[in-house]
């Protein structure tokens, strides 16, 4: 999606140390989800000039959880975001930013 929106720089955030380790090392290559990790790495290398994965506390990513919940209720094949953010996503992100300022 970052590439479709014209971005070549990406910072991914995760609240799981295992995901961070999987993306930064080769330790999970033979795991059950190793092929997904390799696909993420491959697509990032091919399509982005910079891709970084960083750890953030679960408290800091309420927006990510709300966006995941929004994605979960989508119909298979439905594209929620094409080239601009829907108002509902903007509200989620704005609320997250306000919470971080407190």
Residues 55, 17 contacting (CB under 8 angstroms): yes
How sure is the predictor about 23, in pLDDT bands with cuts at 50, 70 and 90? Answer: confident
Write down the pLDDT at residue 60: 65
Question: Percentage of residues in the chain with pLDDT exceeding 70?
Answer: 84
Write down the pLDDT at residue 102: 59
- Residue extents of the structural domains in the chain: 1-56, 58-102
pTM attached to this predicted model:
0.51
The residues, ordered by sequence, that sit 6+ positions from 26 with a Cβ below 8 Å of its Cβ are: none
Write down the pLDDT at residue 100: 66
Rg, the chain, Cα only: 15
């Amino acid at each position: 999606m970052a590439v479709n929106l014209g971005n070549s720089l990406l910072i991914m955030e995760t609240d799981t140390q295992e995901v961070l380790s999987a993306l930064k090392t080769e330790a999970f290559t033979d795991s059950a989800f190793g092929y997904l990790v390799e696909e993420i790495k491959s697509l990032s290398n091919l399509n982005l000039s910079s891709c970084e994965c960083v750890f953030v506390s679960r408290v800091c990513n309420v927006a990510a959880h709300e966006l995941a919940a929004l994605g979960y209720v989508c119909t298979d094949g439905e594209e929620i975001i094409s080239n601009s953010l829907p108002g509902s996503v903007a509200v989620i992100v704005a609320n997250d930013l306000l919470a971080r300022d407190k």
